[in-house]
């Protein structure tokens, strides 16, 4: 494969430089000084200022913000109480993003627990007037996405399914395998023509407790009060900066992650890691003098978590000159030991990338998985831009994901540096390869 020896040499230089990366310190700085940064919040505005200052300090060119329309969701006061048996017993609860509020006086209703959607169907009228609890058990998978994909359907669509059966609210077992009696939030949605009922996540432990009570035929009454609401549309921003290419500066490789996070913690893994990997990759490439042929454009996206607005707006803004985008790279799977990349695009491009991956040594084998890249670059991939996503050992990602536990102490400095190396090398490779990757046929 042409270019392998040059790629291998660059890989060694980048790996060496990544041993002195500032990624972890920058992550802690974002987490500690800015904190939670849900779109529409003061935290997100502070994150934009932080990112502009960091890119400027790194000496990037054309540092700017680009407007993104966002309809933000704001959390309100929330409480969940077991009224009977033996109540009142408060249990932890967190509203899901976009959930409507309950009436101000709350909802008091009998509960019914189902393990999955099929059980809800069988219940028929049995859910009418009740609070439905989805006690779906997430499967632990080293490739984080595996078990998540199955379980997240209940968070995303549980309220719709429950409302179709006449339920008055939906509670979802947190999408995690970690028994830390913690709640994990995330976005949900409604469907036109189906009543909008409030939806929230509860802990694994309480979800199982409620299921055990039902098994024993103990009547359970719950009290739920949620105060979340959608806010009027605001203009948020993607933050952008560039390392200009030495030969073909008009050809662009987009590298990024999402700048927003959930509000329960500071989003260290999700996606503070992707933010600092993107910043550090470019800073190290610049510092060691490996300025590539094409421009590397760092894009930190707004509101991935509750609307995917930043990624959508960026692709839309580039539609007229989309051929100038030769590839897009994203990290949104946490800051763990890297295992390879995902690829979304033409099979010929995947073959070529797979052959080049063999050139990188020092971190164990990096493998390519076809069919997936990342959420924010998905809209670019649909326009035919080859999409590449960093993959890592995601065994523990969903322990922390969208929970109050997603703080920088959960990110290992050495693992994050290894991720910087793999990610920076891929950014360099995409921006340096003599012929760009083959493009996919745009989706209609």
Per CB under 5 A, residues contacting Zn ion are: 270-271, 332
| H-only helix segments in 189-268 | 204-215
Alpha-carbon span 362 to 17, nearest angstrom: 13
End-to-end CA distance of the chain: 33
Q: Tell me which of 236, 242, 280, 304 is the catalytic residue.
A: 304
Q: Residue 387 corresponds to which tokens in the numbers above?
A: 């999409």
Q: Smallest gap, in angstroms, from Cβ of residue 298 to Zn ion?
A: 17
Dihedral of alpha carbons 72, 316, 27, 410, sign? positive
Q: Smallest gap, in angstroms, from Cβ of residue 332 to Zn ion?
A: 4
Alpha-carbon span 312 to 79, nearest angstrom: 34
Q: By the 8 A CB rule, do 96 and 229 touch?
A: no
User: What's the residue count for the chain?
Assistant: 444
**Residue corresponding to tokens 């009060």:** 225
Q: Smallest gap, in angstroms, from Cβ of residue 355 to Zn ion?
A: 30
| CB nearer Zn ion, residue 236 or residue 270 | 270
Active site residue 304: yes
Phi, psi torsion values for 134, nearest 5 degrees: -90, 110
The partner residues of 112 in beta bridges, in order of sequence, read 132
Q: By the 8 A CB rule, do 281 and 255 touch?
A: yes
CB 289: neighbour CB atoms within 10 A? 7
Active-site annotation, residues: 304
């Amino acid at each position: 494969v042409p270019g392998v020896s040059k790629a291998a040499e660059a890989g060694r230089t980048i790996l060496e430089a990544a041993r002195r990366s500032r990624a972890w310190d920058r992550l802690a700085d974002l987490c500690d000084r800015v904190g939670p940064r849900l779109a529409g919040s003061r935290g997100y505005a502070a994150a934009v200022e932080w990112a502009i200052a960091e890119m400027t300090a790194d000496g990037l060119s054309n540092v700017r913000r680009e407007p993104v329309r966002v309809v933000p969701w704001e959390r309100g006061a929330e409480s969940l109480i077991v009224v009977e048996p033996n109540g009142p017993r408060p249990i932890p609860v967190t509203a899901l993003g976009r959930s409507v509020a309950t009436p101000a006086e709350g909802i008091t209703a009998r509960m019914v627990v189902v393990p999955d959607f099929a059980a809800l169907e069988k219940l028929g009228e049995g859910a009418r007037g009740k609070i439905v609890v989805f006690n779906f058990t997430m499967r632990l998978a080293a490739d984080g996405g595996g078990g998540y994909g199955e379980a997240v359907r209940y968070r995303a669509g549980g309220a719709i399914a429950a409302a179709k059966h006449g339920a008055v609210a939906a509670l979802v077992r947190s999408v995690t395998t970690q028994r830390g009696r913690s709640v994990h939030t995330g976005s949900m949605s409604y469907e036109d023509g189906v009543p909008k009922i409030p939806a929230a996540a509860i802990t694994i432990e309480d979800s199982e407790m409620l299921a055990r009570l039902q098994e024993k035929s103990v009547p359970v009454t719950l009290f739920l009060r949620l105060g979340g609401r959608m806010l009027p549309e605001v203009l948020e921003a993607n933050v952008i900066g560039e390392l200009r290419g030495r030969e073909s500066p008009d050809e662009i490789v987009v590298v990024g992650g999402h700048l927003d996070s959930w509000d329960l913690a500071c989003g260290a893994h999700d996606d503070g890691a992707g933010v600092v990997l993107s910043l550090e990759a470019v800073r190290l490439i610049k510092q060691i003098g490996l300025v590539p042929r094409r421009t590397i454009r760092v894009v930190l996206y707004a509101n991935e978590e509750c609307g995917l607005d930043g990624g959508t707006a960026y692709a839309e803004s580039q539609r007229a000159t989309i051929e100038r985008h030769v590839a897009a790279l994203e990290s949104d799977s946490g800051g763990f030991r890297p295992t390879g990349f995902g690829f979304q695009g033409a099979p010929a491009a995947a073959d070529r990338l797979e052959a080049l991956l063999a050139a990188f040594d020092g971190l164990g084998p990096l493998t390519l998985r076809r069919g997936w890249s990342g959420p924010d670059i998905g809209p670019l991939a649909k326009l035919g831009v080859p999409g590449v996503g960093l993959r890592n050992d995601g065994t523990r990602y969903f322990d922390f994901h969208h929970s109050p536990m997603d703080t920088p102490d959960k990110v290992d400095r050495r693992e994050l540096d290894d991720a910087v190396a793999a990610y920076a090398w891929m950014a360099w490779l995409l921006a340096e390869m003599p012929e760009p990757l083959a493009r996919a046929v745009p989706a209609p």
